[in-house]
A and B are shown apart, each in its own frame.
Chain A
Amino acid sequence: MKRRIIVLLFVLAAVGCATKADNVCQDISYCTTQSSDQEHACEAQAKQLAREAAASDCSSQYNAYFDCAADKYQCNGNVVSFPGCESARDDLDSCLNAQRANNACGELASKLDQCPDLTPPDPAPPDPSATTPPPCGGPEVCSSRCYLDNVANVCRPQPNELARAAQCAQQCPL
């Protein structure tokens, strides 16, 4: 009985820890006077992005960026900024971009590639720049995941699904 009580006390003492990304979401919410629902959505997006970063072997860059953002956060008026975190942000975006095959960008691109081509053949010669994939940094990974999570058939997105995906993407913490 006594041993159980001691264990319970230690468990209780460990509750309630927020991550740095949670803290950044809380800061953004406080500065921009968001609702608690919006704040929780941001925290959920941040957790999802952490999973994407882990799958892309970018966890250290993810942690470095949010450590920096939590430290350097500034709120002027209702505008949030993280001055001094630009290089950490670039590192995270570069890492996610390089590992796009392992995150939501690659997953979405793969699904879109499997869509039947409904457009008529283009008689013009192919544009070399069209082969360059779009950027895949933190915001793109987050918004791609929102799209994948909210659109049942990426080849035939419904308007309400697109609205939900857009609303989700608005809460991305980057």
Chain B
Amino acid sequence: MGFRARGAAPPTPEPPPKIVKAEGLTDELFSFHFQATVVTQAHPSFSAAYSGKNSMRTDAESATSIVTDIFAGIRLWKGAELYFQPELAGGFGLSTTLGVAAFPSGEVYRVGDPQPVLIPARLFLRQIIGLGGGKVTVEPGPNQLRVTRDRDALTLTVGKVSTPDFVDKNPVSWDPHTQFLSWGLWASAAYDYPADTRGYTWGAAADLSIDWWSLRGGIFLEPQYSNLMPMEWHINKARGLVAELEGRYKLMGKDGAARVLVFLNDARMGSYRRALELSGTNPDVTATRAFGRTKAGFAASINQDFGGGLAAFARVSYDDGQNETWAFTEIDQSVALGATLSGERWGRSDDQAGIAVVAGGLSWVHRQYLTAGGYGFIIGDGALRRYGPEILGEVFYSFAVTHEISAGVNYQPVLNPAYNRDRGPIHIFSGRVHVAF
């Protein structure tokens, strides 16, 4: 099976395009951008009635990760852009990224080898077809050439990408490099989005944006095995389908947006019910894998600007939770709420502070599976005697050293880690340095 990793990893996110009124600037023919992010996390010892092989360690520990990316783009012909993003990532997460479903760092990969590894993270072609509505300028950034184009447009993308490049992009909480770190906050956690261990996949997507609304859809490859690198290239055997509708509006003159997505993943997943039928104790969901198993669900989110640098977001997501978690994390229901505040009120407009909370839950059969001693790929305490929703809070402050460099601190309390009321709480402290230009 080759490369063995033990958990889905968040990808380096692609920022939402910043669309402004046409500025009369020439379109970029090519671009290069760079980012590097180093995160160190630590937690003191905490109490637990019992532990399993996928539990977060109860003794004090720390872990450091580094993720660096180069974003290269070139314009090929009218409306066509080609992007290539090599990524160098290394390090590991607390307890080798085990024991918390809304894992506290979106910077870490659950890889067996913490040595830095260079991968071709993204390689994709984007074709924009203008549909009128006046001219707008899309500002330059990572994987985004500056371009002046029609406001209304159909954008087609094909190649190696990350599913959240296209859907579930809430601009208030989408980037663990600079915003909230928890997996439950920068994504809709119950959307088990198609991805390899490092958070990327191959696929095709379309985005139709007309005035105030956008309709998006995509088809993406699923991994051949839960949370591993090899992808299943036969889309009749496995695939992830997603569609999203987004509406943008103004509330009291301030920008806001709401979006809802539905997804249907099909892969050779195991069934929790079948695993329990075959063995009432220590069931193994991986022994029940079969083609044709699905996971369906939805995710909705809103974001609202309140002026003065204050913005808020909320996310709700759900999946049916009948079959094995395949690519992201073991959350079947999730509610998240938070706000960010820029430092413009105290004269440091590039600083940013944030506060948020996420609560996650599991489907009934998923709980029963863990109760019987089953293991997933990120959680499993060997038993689950007292189930409770996993609740993670997060506060951070990011200090802008220069326009390109920021340093920040972060605190996350975790109640009922891995849905287990007999463990924790865990208090996680982080330091983060981010460089981007």
Contact = CB atoms under 8 A, between A and B. Distances in A.
A20 B243 contact: no
Contacts, number: 56
Contact of B217 (A9, A22, A30): A9
Interface residues of A, number: 22
Interface in B182-209: 206, 208
A124 interface: no
Interface stretch (B233-241, B300-308, B373-381): B233-241
Given A22-B236, A27-B291, A71 B215 contact: no
B171 to A, nearest CB: 24
Given A2-B210, A71-B274, A30 B268 contact: yes
A16 B236 contact: yes
Interface in A1-50: 1-2, 5-6, 9, 12-13, 15-18, 20, 22-23, 26-27, 30
B217 A27 contact: no
Contacts of A16: 219, 235-236, 239
Contacts of A111: none
B131 interface: yes
B243 A73 contact: no
A173 to B, nearest CB: 13
B116 interface: no
* Chain B interface size, under 10 / 10 to 19 / 20 to 34 / 35 or more: 20 to 34
B290 interface: yes
Interface string B246-275: 000000000000000000001010010010
A72 interface: yes
Contacts of A23: 290-292
Interface string A91-131: 00000000000000000000000000000000000000000
A13 B216 CA distance: 11
A12 B219 contact: yes
A2 B131 contact: yes
Interface in B272-331: 274, 288, 290-292
B219 A26 contact: no
A70 interface: yes
A71 B271 contact: yes
Given A5-B154, A23-B290, A12 B239 contact: no
A72 B274 contact: yes
B223 to A, nearest CB: 15
A9 B239 CA distance: 16
A74 to B, nearest CB: 8
Interface of B: 131, 152, 154, 206, 208, 210, 215, 217, 219, 235-237, 239, 241, 243, 266, 268, 271, 274, 288, 290-292
10 contacts: A12-B219, A13-B241, A15-B235, A22-B291, A23-B291, A23-B292, A26-B268, A26-B291, A70-B292, A71-B274
Closest A-B pairs by Cβ, 8 of them: A23-B292, A26-B291, A23-B291, A73-B290, A16-B235, A18-B236, A9-B217, A70-B292
